Structure 1
Amino acid sequence: MNEPDDEWCGELFVSVAADGCAGIGSAWFNKEQLREFATALTAFPLSADNPVRLDGSLGGNDQTPPQTTIDLTLEPFDVRGAVRVTAKLESTVWQNADRELPKTVSTRFQVLTRKVVVQ
């Protein structure tokens, strides 16, 4: 694991396993991005028009787009509040994707939810 540039950001690791499809990815986020993502997850039900998304990318320049290493999308699945999660993870490419052969995992699964009232 790499050390953060400052006290306001850190590397988030995501692992996923669903029906024989599994992978691990990581990306750097600042604290505010993660707070906004966590707050958006508390909505019940989630908005069909505005899915909750966390996207972590690195690198990129005028000739090369950034590499997305974590892409999570959570959206409504049914009228009872179940959530569909789409997870796309990719290993980091440091120099050349053709030589490094990045590993990619993409899967979708359902999460059963219920509204929790905190008093």
Structure 2
Amino acid sequence: MKDDGLRLAFEPDDDGTGKLHASVRSQGFSGQGSAWFGTEQLERFASALAAFPLAEEARTGLAGGYWRNDRLEQIHLAISAYQVDAAGHIGVRVRVATTVSPSERPQSQHMTEVELQTTYHELECFSRELREHLAGEREDAFLRADAWT
């Protein structure tokens, strides 16, 4: 679908961190989520997305949410990218989820997890947009899905 993709918007704080907001849509599934990340971590991830072949940091990806004792206990936003085949098709796995407080049942968490199908070209454009967004040069960054299947 032509509107399928991932939109990211970063709200920086004064301490070198900020809240990354994500909205994703793929083949009728959609969701929104956000989590806190360091600005430098996001800049490294954006650069890793532009590498050919994809850098390890892109494949490992980002994951943020509630941490406890140096362990990510509740994921609210996760993004990773990986090569799918020898033709250069790329999968971008995106997971967004609501927060669940300790007094709520874990099963009450709402989540969407999708694979966006895209290409190195689209990923490179997204990487550039994300770096420009982090530098304050654009409103957000958008990765267009490219249905190559």
Whether TM-score is above 0.5 comes out as yes
Q: Distance in 1 between matches of 2:15 and 2:60?
A: 25
Stretch deviating more after TM superposition (35-44 or 88-97) = 88-97
Q: Distance in 1 between matches of 2:24 and 2:101?
A: 23
Structure 1 residue 108 and structure 2 residue 105: aligned? Answer: no
* Total equivalences in the alignment: 112
Relative contact order higher in (CA < 8 Å, ≥ 6 apart):
2
Larger helix percent: 2
**Structure whose alpha-carbon radius of gyration is higher:** 1
Instruction: Calculate the TM-score normalised by the size of structure 1.
Output: 0.77
Structure 1 gap ranges (5+)? none
Structure 2 gap ranges (5+)? 1-10, 125-149
Equivalence map 1:34-73=2 (5 Å): 34-46=42-54, 51-61=59-69, 66-73=73-80
Q: Distance in 2 between matches of 1:110 and 1:92?
A: 27
Q: Distance in 2 between matches of 1:18 and 1:109?
A: 6
Which of residues 5, 8, 21 in structure 1 aligns to 2:16?
A: 8
Q: Distance in 2 between matches of 1:96 and 1:4?
A: 29
Q: Distance in 1 between matches of 2:80 and 2:106?
A: 29
* RMSD between superposed Cα atoms in Å: 2.9
